[in-house]
Amino acid sequence: MNECTRIANASTDALNHHQWESLVSLGRQFIGNCLDLSRDSKQEAETLNQIAIGLDNLGKFDDAIPVLGRGVRVKPDAAYCYAELGAAFEGQRELVDARKAFEQAISIGGYDEVNAGAIRFAKRQLANIYIAPTEEPRNSETPGTIEPSPSAGSKKFGTGFVVSNQGHILTNNHVVAGCRTLATRDGKALQVLSRNANSDLALLQADFAPSAVAVFRAGPAPKLGDSVVAFGFPLPGLLSSDGNVSSGILSATSGLQTDVRFVQISAPVQPGNSGGPLFDSSGHVIGVVVAKLDAVKVAQVTGDVPQNVNFAVHWAEVRAFLDDAGVPYRKEVSQHPTTTRSTAAAATHVAVAIECTP
């Protein structure tokens, strides 16, 4: 039995604290190293649910919530993910959100035994929830690690990239939030089609025909230590207006405090890189650049300055967002490594500098 098979078959019967921690760790290893991006979403959702069950049993409800958020985005008809999400909210005493999650689980229907069991659980929990009249749902915004786009005068700036022949452009939600008008650097108008604050993604529509589109990675998921390339338009007016390329490695398959919505990369990024593509060694997109660790704040707390700790939206989040929006994006298996120079050259044809007027 290989490692991935052992992880996938891990049992949850009568586990103690240490065993729950091991189960969570095994689940994260499976998500990061074993899943095939070309497969259906069922096994990914089940593994995410298993991770969340472990976190809930460890009392780490706040960590379980983003894990399950990704689960329901990957597989919206997974009643078991909604039921476990309700349990996590209930553990946090966020009863309004717990009730909504349980109700969503029930509304899906028990089309198999796993979902049916989840629905029975959701109904039992709903019967015991009392909500005070003044209670409000939690804020679902992404944690405050996201870099702000820089401002110059009355504008702020970011990066996006073309993901379909229909002119769809992908970027970060925080790049377009609060914008009265959006345009490319050369003045071509952009329209917001959809946004997801939780995964910090936004889909735009361009009013021009693209000359090229990005290609996303299919097949086996990237692994720790794999080479990555980031491209964007950072620090406009200071750095090159032709775009900036940086290289590094995939440092971790989760973000701060093992947040599964993000991955950690060592490729340097600056304000303005937000929303830019992250490529693998074959020049295929595996993420969207989103944040850099605040070195000053970390140094104030730890006494040490962190280096090259940056983040991108996880490939599963990006895929689920585009699938939900019905975007016909291109996918290819990464089989033929290319040079950073070639990736950068291709990136210049798909990346766009975005200007926002608040």
Task: For residue range 144-183, list pLDDT tens digits in order.
Answer: 333 444 444 568 899 999 999 999 999 999 999 989 999 9
Q: Which CATH class is domain 151-357?
A: mainly beta
Which residue type occupies 194? S
Higher pLDDT, 203 or 73: 203
CA distance 307 to 266: 8
Residue 171 to residues 118, 168, 354, 358, Cα–Cα distance (Å): 35, 10, 9, 17
Residue 226 has pLDDT above 80, yes or no: yes
Give me the phi and psi of 51, to 5 degrees please.
-60, -45
Which residues, 6+ apart, have CB-to-CB distance to 273 below 8 Å? Answer: 147, 159, 230, 232, 233, 234, 244, 289
Residue 22 has pLDDT above 50, yes or no: yes
Q: What is the mean pLDDT of residues 257-281?
A: 91
In the numeric block, the tokens 């979403």 are attached to 41
Residue 301 has pLDDT above 70, yes or no: no
Q: Given this chain, do its domains 3-126 and 151-357 carry the same CATH topology?
A: no
For residue 14, the model assigns a pLDDT of 53
The proportion of the chain whose per-residue pLDDT surpasses 70, expressed as a percent, equals 81
| Contact between residue 199 and residue 142 where contact means Cβ atoms under 8 Å apart | yes
Give me the phi and psi of 251, to 5 degrees please.
-80, -30
Angle at Cα 16 formed by Cα 91 and Cα 97, nearest 5°? 15
Lowest mean pLDDT among 36-45, 105-114, 172-181: 36-45
pLDDT tier at 140, thresholds 50, 70, 90: very low
Name the fold adopted by 3-126.
1.25.40
Give the domain ranges of the chain: 3-126, 151-357
**116-119 contacts at long range (C-beta below 8 A, 24 or more positions apart):** 117/80, 118/79, 118/80, 118/82, 118/83, 118/84, 119/79, 119/83
CA distance 10 to 23: 7
Q: Which two tokens stand for residue 67?
A: 């894990």
Which residues, 6+ apart, have CB-to-CB distance to 61 below 8 Å? Answer: 55, 88, 89, 91, 92
Residue 58 has pLDDT above 80, yes or no: yes
* Helix-, strand-, coil-residue percentages of the chain, each rounded to 5: 35, 25, 40
| Contact between residue 141 and residue 271 where contact means Cβ atoms under 8 Å apart | no
E strands present in the chain: 151-152, 155-162, 168-171, 181-184, 190-196, 201-206, 215-218, 227-232, 244-252, 262-265, 277-279, 285-292, 310-313, 330-333, 351-357
| Contact between residue 84 and residue 50 where contact means Cβ atoms under 8 Å apart | no
Maximum average pLDDT range among 39-48, 151-160, 204-213, 291-300: 204-213
For residue 231, the model assigns a pLDDT of 97
**93-98 contacts at long range (C-beta below 8 A, 24 or more positions apart):** 94/137, 94/138, 95/129, 95/130, 95/131, 95/135, 96/131, 96/135, 96/136, 96/137, 97/137, 97/138, 98/125, 98/129
Q: What is the mean pLDDT of residues 24-28?
A: 81
What is the β-pairing status of strands 310-313 and 285-292? antiparallel
